[in-house]
């Protein structure tokens, strides 16, 4: 698989990243795969050339990281895989078991390192953002982790543009570890970041790692509108919360109409559209081997400019900052 360099950093990753939210414990979410079922999917992804694996301490409450720690060592040399994880969401009841204070950041990273069975995290990212986060304290703590060798690169996920800019410029002007990536929610029916966040990241040469490029399955032609036909759709409150508008369904229907023209699935067309935007490496999820093959197939699809313009013109903007 083609590799891309993340912005101005020296870190190169596969053109598609594998999201690990689907791997961990079915007791956390019914559609999550246990280790026996996840192993062949992870192995197939590595065989296809996926080098970026994106997880989070919150996924399956740590079991996603722990599973990757158990599996990756037997599947691929450590220097051939880029392990990205995230922190920030609640991992306990106490007030210091969440957020971006120094205490939680250090404890979360040490715990993730133990779970992942590695001595460094290649890319550490914020997760669920807190608009009251102490940005200067967070950036300084990230820098200390980089200097200690526990983290190689730092990134963020879903922040208001003005707060991300504050973090970027505080790090830069104080000689601290700069942000190399932004992992943002982005697809044909969720494009609010085109206004500020994406242009800012492009201007500052920050790598863009969009997640949910197929709208958590909404753009796959299998469960539009109120149809809930997969385990995830029945156990994922965010899909209809985020993509339940009539105009979103119209875009999903148009993708299905175009699938015959391209001899490709709606999911492939949705992913191909994201790949043709000014981004670096979309994060895709998979619960079956076919999902991986389908995603790799999208790398070969080039949407006609007229079809891109049509799909884009159908988008109905949302108002205000949209967060996870």
Phi–psi pair at 167, nearest 5 degrees: -65, -45
- 218 alpha carbon, distance to own chain's centre: 16
| 94 vs 306: CA distance, rounded Å | 53
Of 45, 134, 28, 129, which Cα lies nearest the Cα of 86? 129
Listing DSSP states for 180-246 in one string gives EEEE-B-BTTB-GGGTTHHHHHHHTT-EE--B-TTGGGGGGTSS-TT---SHHHHS-HHHHHHH-SH
Instruction: Give the number of C-alpha atoms closer than 13 A to the C-alpha of residue 139, restricted to the C-beta side.
Output: 21
Residue of 58, 59, 100, 211 marked catalytic: 59
**Is 59 annotated as catalytic?**
yes
Which tokens hold the place of 83? 């392990």
Under 8 Å CB-to-CB from 6, ≥6 apart: which residues? Answer: 12, 13, 153, 180, 181, 207, 209, 280, 281
| 211 vs 186: CA distance, rounded Å | 6
Residues labelled as active-site residues: 59
């Amino acid at each position: 698989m083609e590799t891309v360099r993340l912005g101005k950093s020296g870190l190169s990753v596969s053109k598609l990243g594998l999201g690990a939210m689907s791997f961990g414990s079915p007791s956390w979410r019914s559609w999550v795969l246990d280790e026996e079922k996840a192993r062949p999917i992870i192995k197939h992804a590595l065989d296809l050339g996926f080098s970026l694996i994106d997880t989070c301490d919150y996924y399956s409450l740590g079991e996603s990281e722990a599973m990757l720690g158990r599996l990756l060592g037997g599947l691929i040399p450590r220097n051939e895989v880029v392990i990205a994880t995230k922190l920030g969401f609640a991992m306990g009841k106490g007030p210091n078991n969440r957020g971006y204070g120094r205490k939680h950041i250090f404890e979360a990273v040490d715990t993730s390192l133990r779970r992942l069975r590695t001595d460094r995290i290649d890319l550490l990212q914020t997760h669920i953002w807190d608009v009251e986060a102490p940005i200067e304290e967070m950036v300084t703590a990230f820098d200390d982790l980089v200097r200690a060798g526990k983290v190689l690169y730092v990134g963020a996920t879903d922040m208001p543009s003005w707060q991300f800019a504050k973090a970027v410029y505080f790090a830069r002007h104080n000689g601290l570890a700069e942000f190399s990536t932004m992992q943002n929610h982005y697809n044909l029916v969720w494009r609010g970041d085109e206004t500020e966040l994406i242009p800012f990241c492009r201007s500052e040469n920050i790598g863009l790692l969009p997640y949910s490029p197929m709208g958590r399955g909404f753009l796959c032609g299998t469960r539009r509108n109120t149809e809930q036909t997969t385990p995830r759709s029945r156990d994922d409150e965010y899909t209809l919360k985020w993509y339940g508008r009539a105009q979103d369904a119209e875009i999903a229907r148009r993708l299905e109409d175009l699938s015959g023209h391209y001899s490709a699935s709606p999911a492939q067309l949705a992913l191909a559209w994201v790949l043709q935007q000014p981004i670096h490496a979309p994060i895709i999820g998979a619960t079956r081997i076919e999902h991986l093959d389908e995603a790799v197939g999208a790398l070969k699809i080039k949407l006609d400019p007229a079809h891109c313009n049509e799909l884009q013109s159908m988008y109905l903007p949302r108002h205000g900052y949209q967060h996870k």
